[in-house]
Amino acid sequence: MRVPYYENPDRMDKILTALKQTDWAEFVEPEDFGLDPILAVHDRDYINFLASCWDEWLASDPEVAASPETHAFLPATFALRRPARLTSSLRGRGGYHIMDLSACIVAGTYKAALTSANCALSAASSSFTFQNSSFALCRPPGHHAGKDYAGGYCFINNAAVAANWLSQKGKTAILDIDYHAGNGTQDIFYERDDVLTISIHGDPDFEYPHYIGFADETGAGAGLGFHRNFALPQGTDDEGYISALDEALKMIRGFNAAYLVLSLGADAFDGDPLGTFRITRDGFNEIGKRISELNLPTAIIMEGGYANQALGNNIQTLLENFK
C-alpha cells in the first residue's frame, strides 16, 4: 500500500515564507563543522553506510543504475538486535542500519543529512557565542536516528549532535516536544549524566516508534534519572500538554542547565496527519512562552510537523517568544 511521504520540501517552504514575513527573523547559511561532531554521537560504520549506500546500490544492479530517479534504497529485512551482527552485503547493512520503511535512501540523502546536521551545529554555535536563541531549519529531521540507525525520516540526529557539542561548553538539556518519542536521542544519551534528555510525546503503546519512549524508561548506569519520557494519551489538549511541560521545565531548572536544545516538532497540532493531539496555535504560543522563560541560550532544532498549511504560522508563533 502506498502512503504519502509527509517529510517533503513544502514543509520548509511554508516555514520560510512565514518567517520572511516577520521583522525579526535573520537568515544565515550554515557553517561546515566537518564529521568530528557527528562521529562523536554516531558510529563510524553507520555514517560510512549513509555516505556510500546510494553509489554502492547503483553499482550492484544494472537495472537500478539505468533509472535511479524512480527508485529508493530500502532493505527487505530488518535486524533483530538481540543479537544481531553487521554483515558485508549492502542489503544486510541496510537492514541493520535502517529501522523502518520511512527512512529510504536516495541520491541526495547523505548530502542533505550532513547539511541538516550543520544547520543544527550552526545554531548551537550561535547560541553559545551570542548567548541567545537560534533556530535551525533542519531537513531531514533527526530525533529518530540512533547511534547506528536511521528511522522515521531521520538519518543524523541533529539535536543530539548539537547538544553533544554544547555539552563541551556547559551542562546541556534536551527538550523534545515533537509528537513522536525521540527514540534516537534517548538511545544516544541514555547512559550519560551530562545531558538531561526529556521527551513529551504520544504514548508508544499506541504511537510510533512503539518500542521505546515509555514513562518507566529513566536512563541506565550513570544516566539513571537523567532521562524522562512524558507519554501522553490520545487527544491530549493544550491544558494536558502544558501540565506535562511545566513538570519538564521544573526538571530542567533543577538540572541547572547552561544550554537548552529544543527538538521542535509541530505535529502535536490539532489536525496533523501523523498525530492525535489537539494542540492549538494558542497552545504553541504558550508552549514557546513557558520554554523561553527558562532564559537559557537555546538551539531550536526543527523536527516533524506535517499539517503544512498551518505549519509555518505555528512555528512562527512559537519562535516569536524567543526573539
- Cell (9 digits) for 205: 503503546
Instruction: Name the residue type at position 66.
Output: A
Annotated active-site residue in 42, 71, 144, 227: 144
User: What's the maximum distance between 2 C-alpha atoms anywhere in the chain?
Assistant: 58
CB of 7 closer than 8 Å to CB of 154: no
Query: Which residues on adjacent β-strands are paired with residue 73?
Result: 105
CA gap 257, 128 in Å, rounded = 13
In the block, which residue shows the cell 527487505? Answer: 76
C-alpha cell at 246: 511545566
C-alpha cell at 178: 515533537
Cα distance between residue 191 and residue 57, in whole Å: 35
Residue 144 designated active-site: yes
Residue 108: CB partners within 8 Å, gap ≥ 6? none
Contact 229, 201 (CB under 8 A): yes
Rg of the chain taking only CA atoms, in angstroms: 19
CA atoms within 13 A on the CB side of 285: 5
The DSSP bridge partners found for residue 199 are 176, 229
Q: What share of the chain is helix, strand, coil (3-state, %, to 5)?
A: 40, 15, 45
Query: What are the angstrom distances between the C-alpha of 82 and each of 85, 150, 174, 234?
Result: 9, 18, 28, 31
Query: Cα torsion at 87, 92, 98, 101 (round to 10°)?
Result: -170
Gap between the Cα atoms of 102 and 154, Å rounded: 9
Question: Among all residues, which ones are annotated catalytic?
Answer: 144
